[in-house]
């Protein structure tokens, strides 16, 4: 059985990272696009290709891509977002849904640094890059978008679509052990990596 097929069968067991819930819960954050959302621990209703996924993942209107805002800091102006499923711009226009319904609201609240955790993104299918360009322009010169731990074949598709112009990925960012850190430490460590690259 392939890695992808094996992961698909286990989708219902993959939860968004929860060790920071004592620090931040998106449904309690008035600036979050998921403010006031209620979740069930028992009822599995969302699916990706007929495979049920854990009910803690947030629906953004895509048939295949779900997310979780794990942390947002409006003073340091960063957000950490975990992704799950298949990122499909070609059919579902997932980037439009992500940009309009999540990213734009966070930018409006002051966020200009985005940390995207992609280890549970199974595939990427490209379309045009207009929403990525818009996202990049909206965060300004001191903003950035970092992709952590995306799978090698997904990174290749990003590069083929020329999204590596908008996202920082590769090297240390592909094997970044973020779970052992606090959100502030994740941000601080990434700042060091990014500042070295920009030099």
Per-residue pLDDT of the chain (199 residues; tens, 9 = 90+): 455 555 555 777 789 999 999 999 999 999 999 999 988 776 777 888 878 888 899 999 999 999 999 999 999 999 999 999 999 999 989 999 999 999 999 999 999 999 999 999 999 999 999 999 999 999 999 999 999 999 999 999 999 999 999 999 999 999 999 999 999 999 999 999 998 877 6
Report whether 79 contacts 69 (CB < 8 A). Answer: yes
First vs last C-alpha separation in the chain: 44
Give the integer Cα–Cα distance in Å for 78 and 154.
Answer: 24
pLDDT at 1: 43
pLDDT of residue 88: 96
Residue 154 token pair: 């997904």
In the chain, where the domains are located: 3-198
Please report the pLDDT score of residue 94 as a whole number. 97
- DSSP β-ladder status, 65-73 and 58-59: antiparallel
Q: Using CA of residue 177, residue 180, residue 184, residue 188, what is the dihedral sign?
A: negative
- Superfamily designation of domain 3-198: STAS domain (3.30.750.24)
* Predicted pLDDT at 49: 81
CB 4 within 8 A of CB 122: yes
Full-model pTM: 0.93
Asked if 173 and 196 count as a contact pair (C-beta separation under 8 A), the reply is no
Structural contact between residues 84 and 10, judged by C-beta atoms closer than 8 angstroms: no
CB 126 within 8 A of CB 160: yes
Buried b (16+ CB within 10 A) or exposed e, 128-147: ebebbebbbeebeeebbbbb
pLDDT at 44: 74
Burial of 193 (0-12, 13-18, 19+ CB in 10 A): middle
């Amino acid at each position: 059985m392939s890695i992808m097929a094996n992961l698909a069968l286990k989708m219902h067991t993959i939860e968004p990272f929860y060790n920071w819930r004592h620090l931040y819960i998106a449904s309690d954050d008035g600036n979050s696009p998921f403010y006031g959302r209620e979740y069930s621990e028992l009822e599995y209703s969302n699916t990706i290709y007929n495979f049920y996924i854990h009910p803690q993942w947030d629906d953004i209107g895509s048939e295949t891509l779900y997310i979780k805002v794990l942390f947002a800091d409006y003073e340091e102006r960063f957000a950490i977002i975990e992704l799950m499923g298949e990122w499909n711009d070609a059919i579902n226009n997932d980037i439009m849904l992500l940009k309009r319904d999540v990213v734009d609201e966070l930018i409006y609240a002051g966020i200009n640094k985005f940390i995207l955790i992609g280890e549970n993104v199974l595939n990427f299918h490209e379309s045009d890059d207009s929403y990525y360009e818009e996202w990049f322009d909206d965060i300004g010169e001191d903003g950035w978008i970092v992709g952590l731990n995306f799978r090698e074949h997904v990174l290749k598709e990003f590069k083929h679509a020329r999204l590596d112009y908008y996202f920082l990925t590769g090297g240390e960012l592909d094997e970044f052990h973020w779970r052992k850190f606090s959100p502030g430490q994740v941000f601080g460590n990434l700042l060091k990596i990014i500042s070295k690259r920009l030099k």
